[in-house]
Structure 1
């Protein structure tokens, strides 16, 4: 499994929303905004209100390839964007977890295989 740098880990912990891309059975991409939770083991959990009934869950049952993009605008003047693109394999989990009471028992665990980040080297904490 690919590992996050310290800057990438810090950035992920500072953000709340990302876009998760999956592929449907016809090979078409689908992207959705999702909440995500970086884990100490280097994986990322994605939870939702009724995750097991979503199209992304159904897509991942057929094809576990996934991408998660987290980015933001750090500054407008000067223009400075930063972010991280995580590609990997999704593991579908069902059962108790610690994400909170508003999440369904279905959770997606992303195992990163490729990580590309930009604009994080300028962060000063």
Structure 2
């Protein structure tokens, strides 16, 4: 994972802080490019595995259609209500599709640990409940930008 950031170095998170933040958060906002070139943003649960962000999306969605046509994506995960408590991470790059589409649970070594962790984190289950409506996309970020306004008090 490469963390490069020019502006805001004083409030950027360290790689360890980024990983810890992404591991504990549940919801991201995924920005895609629609067929007409317009941006589209939607919320989605995700999993961070330490080097990649995994998206489990309904395949009959505008988001999925956008990604299949143009796999470039920007994703934001953030939290905080007051200005001095805002923190977040923006990841961007190109997604790859992993496993069958839609996912029905066929053996896929790349998804074994991902599905176990996702099921525990989001459903409180030890195994992924496959509904034949979702599929996996993996983002190995090309760029990561972070901010933690709580650090402003330290300056």
Give the TM-score category using the shorter length: 0.7 to 0.9
Q: Does 1:116 align with 2:150?
A: no
**Cα distance in 2, alignment partners of residues 110 and 31 from structure 1:** 16
Paired with 1:120 and 1:88, the residues of 2 have a C-alpha distance of: 25
Give the superposition deviation at 1:80.
Answer: 2.0
**Higher helix proportion (structure 1 or 2):** 2
| 8 Å CA contact 2:85, 2:149 repeated in 1 | no
Distance 2:149 2:22 in 1: 11
Q: Deviations over 1:17-59 (max 9, x none)?
A: 110000011111000000010014x1110113xx211111111
Q: How many residues align?
A: 117
Q: Which runs of 4+ in 1 moved over 6 A?
A: none
Moved more, 104-113 or 18-27: 104-113
Q: 1:120 Cα shift? A: 7.1
Q: 2:143, 2:47 → 1: CA distance?
A: 18
Q: For residues 33 and 21 of structure 1, what CA distance do their matches in structure 2 show?
A: 9
Distance in 2 between the 1:91 and 1:105 partners? 15
- Cα drift, residue 16 of structure 1: 0.6
Distance 1:121 1:91, change over 3 A: farther
Larger CA Rg, structure 1 vs 2: 2
TM-score by length of 1: 0.81
The answer for the alignment partner of 2:77 in structure 1 is 70
| Aligned: 1:53 with 2:81 | no
Q: Which of these residues, 3, 6, 11, is aligned with residue 21 of structure 2?
A: 11
Aligned residues: CA RMSD: 2.2
SS at match of 2:2: coil
Q: Which runs of 5+ in 1 are unaligned?
A: none
